[in-house]
Structure 1
Amino acid sequence: MRVVLAPRYCPFASPAHPDAGRMTERGGRWLNGFGLGLREPERSRMLNNDCGEFYGRIMPRAPAGRLQLAVDWCTLMVAFADAHCDEGAAGVRPGDFARLASRVLRVLEVPRAVMGPPGDVLLAAVRDLAERGRTWSTAAQWARVVEEHRGWFYGVLWEFACRAQDRTPALNDYAHMRQHTAAGPATLCWAEIVDGVEIPERDMASPAVRALRELAFTTAAFDDDLFSYGKERWLAARSAHATGCRLNLVDILAQERGLPVHKALEEAVALTNRLTARFARLREQVLPTASGPLRQHLDHLSTLLRGNAEWGLRAGRYSDPDGRHPGAVVTTGSFTDTAPPAGAPGIAALSWLWELPGYG
């Protein structure tokens, strides 16, 4: 399976963390230590997610000891998503997911709460993360962790509804939900804890910062659709649980606009480029008056955009779909310094990102 992507506009740097490989290994050992008992090829598949590389590119200068918290979360939650949200029979059982998600949220809220059967590996790992995270975080930071996970699980349940109806969503619906279904806010909430600096709520609640966060999370999620497109088609061709529902930007563009796949791929890249350009311009307008913590947060959003793109083009998560077929999917892409045309992309749910008073 080969996927060729048009050049991606992303004018940000995202160097790799020097301890990325070791953090990935430690994350795998940490999760296996709860009794997961992974053997090959499942262990290789987990390490192929390369969570140290992913989060290390978001925070390339963070102390490895503190950053390990975010890498461990990523290791657990990617495995959780694969097992309970996205693939196979689990992807059409919303009741099972809702029950499990409610337990995860309760353990995040109250780590000592007894939820689920004794020895539940997932909840034991979540409890460990919650206890470590609460030790390092402020009350406001931890409240954000819980709420961002609630938003993620809400997004996943929306995906379950699409599958249950065997319905590919409209582009306008998908565009505003994708930041949540991809766990964008739930991913980056750990960065604030790793930094050890609380971002004032007045900053986080401002329309311009809300727009920057939505732009970054939506763009990164659309990029994920590009990197995972080949993997999804490869798995669908071998699955007994495939449906007519498509939850990928490329498929949605192809269906809604009557495009062949190669044209839909081009339009998807063009959309991510336009979103990135808007993010870059709005960021430059916000930075001069940003507080120190907010400036740091905007830096992380910038490295997320480039780092996620760099990671996605290399991650074994996408090139080895099931842990048994290295190189089964080859996705090639590149970067360009040429900015796309300015202006909103004509998606109603996203138009507000270009309509902020005082920010042209």
Structure 2
Amino acid sequence: MRTADTLSIELPPRYCPLPTARHPDEAALARHTADWINQFAPALTPRQKARMRGNDCPGFYGRIMPRAPAERLRLAVDWCTLMFHLDDAYDEGHTRSAADRTGRFADLTTRLVRVLEAPDARVDSPDDTFDTFIPAVRDLALRAHRWATPAQVRRCVEAHRAWFLAMLWEFGHRAAHSTPALNDYAHLRRHTAAGAATLAWAEIIDGEEIPDRELSSPLVGALTELAFTTAAFDDDLFSYGKEQWVARHEGTPPSGLGLVEILRRERSCTQQEALRTATELCNRLTHRYIELREQVGPLASRPLRAYLDHLDHLLPGNLEWGLSADRYRNPDGRSPGAVTTTGSWTRTPPADTSPPPIPSIAWWWDSLDQ
């Protein structure tokens, strides 16, 4: 249903039998992050700051790590708040050419990665718009380096490189007004959604380093990719209404960089058929995650058990958060409540649990060793 200024999307039921949880200190985390925004981003407008708060990063990370010490969880919540702002700033920078936006994004993010590697490194830029990000990321990096092991720092840096590289791939499609193939999108979506970067902070907050032999095992690798990809595809379901609303108000076709729109174009189907197919794919991925999760043996180390617990909370927590966050309900930061997306959960497994016909992710259905 739609009016001139509102849009409603109803999603088919999502299979997710995992329970949700909330962090008891989300309100205090939100107050801290509001103060942190004022400290490191004083030049932002009140509307920009309100939009950053409206993304509800305490609710996002509080659902992934509901038992984390609040003073340490602040690190991840601050990072999430800043990175959503980064995504919005460059995703919606329509006053600049595509080439200029891409070049500026590459320039900024290479500097941010260097700060994560070496917080004291001088990476100043003549572009004063970077001043919103570099000092804030330096603060995050200094805090992380106090707690993290060298391996955890390396994983965090590599995760950000993977994320920013995937974002440049996405920028290329936006500049060309092209739609990627589903097979390409499926294996890159976990990177464009910053999946590894999100959980890299969780490992630092937990404090204990996950042994590489466990984290790199085929079974844990498949579980990780499944969780990140499923959560990212769910984000595509939440953001579909936002993409439609923005396209309508700008008088342009919807972006082809979302699961629903990719399916609609690739299969020449209706919007409702694409929504149903996208949800069925998410249900199938969730079912495979549950199957593989049950294979993780009792010999998993304590750090790995904590990591897998975060993945378990990510799937239902992201679903719950995404249906309520202003990030998707206020599509341009100036139109609160313009988009409403409703959905429901089911514990009934999908009828079709076979591997989807997507070669780039088919290995998740192989026989895997821990």
* TM-score bracket for the superposition, by shorter chain length: over 0.9
Tell me which residue corresponds to 1:211.
Answer: 222
Q: Any stretches of 5+ residues in structure 2 without a counterpart? A: 1-6
Tell me which residue corresponds to 1:94.
Answer: 102
Tell me which residue corresponds to 2:72.
Answer: 66
Q: Does 1:232 align with 2:232?
A: no
For residues 90 and 249 of structure 1, do their structure 2 counterparts lie closer, same or farther at Cα, with a shift above 3 Å needed?
A: farther
- Deviations 1:97-133 (CA, angstroms, capped at 9, x unpaired): 1111111111111111111337722100000000000
**Cα pair 1:27 1:68 within 8 Å, conserved:** yes
Tell me which residue corresponds to 1:170.
Answer: 181
Q: CA deviation at 1:31?
A: 2.1
User: 1:274 & 1:238 partners in 2: Cα distance?
Assistant: 34
Q: Does 1:336 align with 2:346?
A: yes
SS state at 1:303 partner: helix
Tell me which residue corresponds to 1:49.
Answer: 55
Tell me which residue corresponds to 1:112.
Answer: 120
What amino acid sits opposite 1:117 in the alignment?
S
What amino acid sits opposite 2:214 in the alignment?
D
TM-score (norm 1): 0.95
User: 2:96 & 2:15 partners in 1: Cα distance?
Assistant: 36
Please, which of 319, 325, 336 is the counterpart of residue 309 of structure 1? 319
Please, which of 21, 26, 40 is the counterpart of residue 32 of structure 2? 26
Tell me which residue corresponds to 1:152.
Answer: 163
User: 2:28 & 2:198 partners in 1: Cα distance?
Assistant: 20
User: 1:347 & 1:86 partners in 2: Cα distance?
Assistant: 30
Greater alpha carbon shift after TM alignment, 269-278 vs 113-122: 113-122
- Deviations 1:17-72 (CA, angstroms, capped at 9, x unpaired): 11112212321220221243334322221111000000000000111101001001
Percent sequence identity over matched residues?
54
Greater alpha carbon shift after TM alignment, 137-146 vs 93-102: 93-102
User: 2:92 & 2:290 partners in 1: Cα distance?
Assistant: 31
Q: Does 1:192 align with 2:198?
A: no
Greater alpha carbon shift after TM alignment, 289-298 vs 345-354: 289-298
Q: CA deviation at 1:346?
A: 1.3
User: 2:91 & 2:340 partners in 1: Cα distance?
Assistant: 24
Tell me which residue corresponds to 1:321.
Answer: 331
- Deviations 1:234-265 (CA, angstroms, capped at 9, x unpaired): 1122237x567510000000011111001100
Please, which of 75, 84, 87 is the counterpart of residue 90 of structure 2? 84
TM-score (norm 2): 0.93
Q: Any stretches of 5+ residues in structure 1 without a counterpart? A: none
For residues 89 and 171 of structure 1, do their structure 2 counterparts lie closer, same or farther at Cα, with a shift above 3 Å needed?
A: farther
User: 2:11 & 2:254 partners in 1: Cα distance?
Assistant: 24
Q: Does 1:135 align with 2:143?
A: no
Q: CA deviation at 1:85?
A: 4.0
User: 2:152 & 2:311 partners in 1: Cα distance?
Assistant: 17
SS state at 1:234 partner: helix
Q: Does 1:290 align with 2:296?
A: no
**Cα pair 2:30 2:53 within 8 Å, conserved:** yes
**Cα pair 1:85 1:91 within 8 Å, conserved:** no
Tell me which residue corresponds to 2:4.
Answer: none
Tell me which residue corresponds to 1:263.
Answer: 273
**Cα pair 1:73 1:129 within 8 Å, conserved:** yes
How many equivalent residue pairs?
Answer: 358
SS state at 2:46 partner: coil
For residues 234 and 243 of structure 1, do their structure 2 counterparts lie closer, same or farther at Cα, with a shift above 3 Å needed?
A: closer
SS state at 2:341 partner: strand
User: 1:82 & 1:52 partners in 2: Cα distance?
Assistant: 18
For residues 22 and 57 of structure 1, do their structure 2 counterparts lie closer, same or farther at Cα, with a shift above 3 Å needed?
A: same
User: 1:328 & 1:83 partners in 2: Cα distance?
Assistant: 20
User: 1:47 & 1:25 partners in 2: Cα distance?
Assistant: 9
Q: Does 1:345 align with 2:345?
A: no
Please, which of 299, 303, 310 is the counterpart of residue 300 of structure 1? 310
**Cα pair 2:331 2:338 within 8 Å, conserved:** yes
Q: CA deviation at 1:358?
A: 5.5
User: 2:287 & 2:41 partners in 1: Cα distance?
Assistant: 45
Q: CA deviation at 1:94?
A: 1.2
